[in-house]
A and B are shown apart, each in its own frame.
Chain A
């Protein structure tokens, strides 16, 4: 891996040298590019715990943050890391934490507290395959976790999903902006491929503007004491707190929805996919168009807020939608909610760390485009669920135990 001097982000360079560096394209690993983007975005403190496939992010931070005189702590656990982030963020610092799926599960508790108390933070999840310890291959099986809530309570967290390393770098700056603008944790989710792969990136970094926070804990000198908390035992007060949160989420949904449309102008079919799945989909779309299937890509960039209005509008003129994910089909539920039956919605996905091939996706597209006129909508899968989940449980033992026939 190149050092920061080679990629032109180190200290002690002239502005011209820095500018030249920024213009250059370099080959960077996703985890390291994300880490450097956070540093360039003004991240004051990073807290982490080693886990594959995001360990390089922690390692990059370990070196760079200390070089820059900023805060890096390798915590005793993901619980420790995110609660350190909670404390640092409560003082108004720009804070990032990263982990991978099993670690994010441990962080769910503090995410709920931070959402409830309005504490900004950026959390990066380099997703790996689950459930449980699962594996270290790429996955998008944390979509539900990211978009439907990690911890307890009525809260949402904006979720940004890049499809390239360069986009991840830009979205990281946006994540800090959103976190501070709305006083909320923000998640950036990328599958393990985006964390582990190397690709050429433009070294264009962005540092969001700093704002003074009238809520930050700095010591109550010359002002009333401030409290950052989520507890309110009075139900009326707590409902008001919740209503304020819901208002915030409506504002986020109104202003922050992001998506990309590609080759949709003349499309009769669309693939809905994000992250690495969207890149596979692009290849499949190119091949499908060579075969005369008019298909384009609808790529959600914000997974929450989901671009539901835009997808609903699109679905009115489509013959069918194929959702492709590195999961059993999680985002497809939001696709179906947005489409509301206006066109068939099929799904193709792989699990366990496997990635669908363009030809698999092409096959699913062919099936969809050939059958879209018929009802019910086709069930397109990358695997045979019935075979995988053939019930070979022991015969129901309750009756035997009970001794009744």
Chain B
């Protein structure tokens, strides 16, 4: 494509090179997410990774209950809606009858770390060959900012109006670290959308988690620490500072476990992969 710049003294003759664009799998719609919310960034990263790995046509994704309930409105892949917390079980069913599909779950912390703990723990324990995207913003955003299991100590929410008190409400759950104990978990990592370098690292984690599934490595989960400006009662910029500070302090970033499974170059997307192999503990 050659661009001719109107009004310039000499016509532009160099061919313009497209180096960055919206992935086609990301639908051209404005989202329902609140201003400053991190979900849009995670959607974008996921769309980029799916495109780079040539996966959209093979993907069957599971939408959660929570803020990402409408994920299917933004990502142009086959989607099934799961009841609250059940996405890993739904994904298990898909995985077992569709060995050739790329199976993806997208859950928030209320969905995954509260009501859906049994489903996520056992999908991980079985080493289900699925890729789980876990967006942790430490709050129930969709229902109006109530306390989640991941809410920080002292954090005020609409259901912990005086701040989360450990004596009454227990402690935040680092569920990704819990899952990392399980031998069926090939990969568990935590990133964040807090700033641009972190977003780049988060994308690399998501890509690795997807490649592991393609290489039959087992269960892979990426936790994306995100913000909820409205639920946290902050401006978007304040919420990002909060995310980089106390939230990251409570939930350390990095790869928690990478068992080196499925590390080789992945086969072409869409080829059938064998059933999950269960490494010994």
Chain A contact residues, CB within 8 Å of chain B: 44-45, 47, 71, 73, 75-77, 79-81, 83-91, 93, 95, 109-110, 113, 117, 217-222, 225-231
In the complex, the answer to whether A75 meets B77 with C-beta atoms within 8 Å is: no
In the complex, the answer to whether A87 meets B89 with C-beta atoms within 8 Å is: yes
B86 at the interface (CB under 8 A from A): yes
Instruction: Give the docked Cα–Cα distance between A219 and B269 (Å).
Output: 12
B177 at the interface (CB under 8 A from A): no
Nearest to B87 among chain A residues (CB) is: A83
In the complex, the answer to whether A218 meets B86 with C-beta atoms within 8 Å is: no
In the complex, the answer to whether A71 meets B118 with C-beta atoms within 8 Å is: no
Instruction: Give the docked Cα–Cα distance between A44 and B93 (Å).
Output: 11
Q: Which of B79, B95, B121, B270 contacts A228 (CB 8 A)?
A: B79
B207 to chain A, nearest CB (A): 19
Instruction: Give the docked Cα–Cα distance between A79 and B97 (Å).
Output: 19
With A220-B76, A222-B57, A229-B72: A79-B89 Cβ-Cβ less than 8 Å? yes
Q: Which of B60, B78, B97, B270 contacts A45 (CB 8 A)?
A: B97
Residues of A within 8 A of B81 (CB): 113, 117, 227-231
Residues of A within 8 A of B86 (CB): 79-80, 83, 86, 110
In the complex, the answer to whether A229 meets B79 with C-beta atoms within 8 Å is: yes
Q: List 16 interface pairs A-B (beta carbons < 8 Å), by A numbering.
A: A47-B93, A76-B118, A83-B93, A84-B93, A87-B91, A87-B95, A90-B93, A91-B97, A217-B79, A218-B98, A220-B56, A220-B76, A227-B78, A227-B79, A227-B80, A229-B81
Against A, the Cβ 8 Å flags (1 = close, 0 = not) of B77-105 are 11111110010011111111110011000
In the complex, the answer to whether B94 meets A217 with C-beta atoms within 8 Å is: yes
In the complex, the answer to whether A84 meets B60 with C-beta atoms within 8 Å is: no
In the complex, the answer to whether B76 meets A79 with C-beta atoms within 8 Å is: no
In the complex, the answer to whether B77 meets A225 with C-beta atoms within 8 Å is: yes
In the complex, the answer to whether A226 meets B119 with C-beta atoms within 8 Å is: no
Instruction: Give the docked Cα–Cα distance between A112 and B57 (Å).
Output: 29
In the complex, the answer to whether A91 meets B60 with C-beta atoms within 8 Å is: yes
- Given contacts A91-B98, A91-B101, 12 further A-B pairs with CB under 8 A are A71-B96, A76-B118, A76-B119, A84-B90, A88-B96, A110-B83, A219-B59, A219-B102, A221-B57, A222-B57, A225-B79, A228-B81
Instruction: Give the docked Cα–Cα distance between A87 and B105 (Å).
Output: 11
Q: Which of A71, A81, A117 contacts B97 (CB 8 A)?
A: A71
Instruction: Give the docked Cα–Cα distance between A86 and B77 (Å).
Output: 18
Instruction: Give the docked Cα–Cα distance between A62 and B79 (Å).
Output: 29
Nearest to B92 among chain A residues (CB) is: A84
Residues of B within 8 A of A222 (CB): 57
B65 to chain A, nearest CB (A): 9
Instruction: Give the docked Cα–Cα distance between A75 and B118 (Å).
Output: 10
We find that the number of chain B residues with CB closer than 8 angstroms to chain A is: 36
With A80-B119, A219-B101, A220-B78: A88-B94 Cβ-Cβ less than 8 Å? yes
Q: Which of B72, B94, B101 contacts A227 (CB 8 A)?
A: B72
Residues of A within 8 A of B58 (CB): 219, 221
Residues of B within 8 A of A109 (CB): 83
A45 to chain B, nearest CB (A): 5
With A75-B89, A77-B118: A90-B96 Cβ-Cβ less than 8 Å? no
Residues of B within 8 A of A220 (CB): 56-57, 59, 76-78
Chain B stretch 36-95: residues in CB contact (< 8 A) with chain A: 56-60, 62-63, 69, 72, 76-83, 86, 89-95
Nearest first, the 3 A-B pairs at minimum CB distance are: A87-B93, A88-B93, A83-B89
Residues of B within 8 A of A230 (CB): 81
Residues of A within 8 A of B80 (CB): 86-87, 90, 117, 217, 227-229
Against A, the Cβ 8 Å flags (1 = close, 0 = not) of B242-272 are 0000000000000000000000000000100
Residues of A within 8 A of B96 (CB): 45, 71, 73, 84, 88
Instruction: Give the docked Cα–Cα distance between A110 and B90 (Å).
Output: 10
A155 to chain B, nearest CB (A): 14
Instruction: Give the docked Cα–Cα distance between A24 and B95 (Å).
Output: 38
Residues of A within 8 A of B82 (CB): 83, 86-87, 113
Instruction: Give the docked Cα–Cα distance between A97 and B59 (Å).
Output: 25
Residues of A within 8 A of B78 (CB): 217-220, 225-227
Instruction: Give the docked Cα–Cα distance between A87 and B95 (Å).
Output: 8
B201 at the interface (CB under 8 A from A): no
B122 at the interface (CB under 8 A from A): yes
Nearest to A45 among chain B residues (CB) is: B97
Residues of B within 8 A of A73 (CB): 92-93, 96, 126
With A71-B97, A76-B119, A221-B57: A113-B92 Cβ-Cβ less than 8 Å? no
Instruction: Give the docked Cα–Cα distance between A231 and B60 (Å).
Output: 18
Residues of A within 8 A of B83 (CB): 83, 86, 109-110, 113
Nearest to A81 among chain B residues (CB) is: B89
In the complex, the answer to whether A87 meets B90 with C-beta atoms within 8 Å is: yes
Residues of A within 8 A of B121 (CB): 76
In the complex, the answer to whether B90 meets A86 with C-beta atoms within 8 Å is: yes
Residues of A within 8 A of B270 (CB): 219
Residues of B within 8 A of A221 (CB): 57-58
A65 to chain B, nearest CB (A): 11
Nearest to A219 among chain B residues (CB) is: B58
Residues of A within 8 A of B76 (CB): 220, 225
With A71-B96, A87-B92: A76-B79 Cβ-Cβ less than 8 Å? no
Against A, the Cβ 8 Å flags (1 = close, 0 = not) of B132-145 are 00000000000000
B94 to chain A, nearest CB (A): 4
A118 to chain B, nearest CB (A): 11
Residues of A within 8 A of B69 (CB): 231
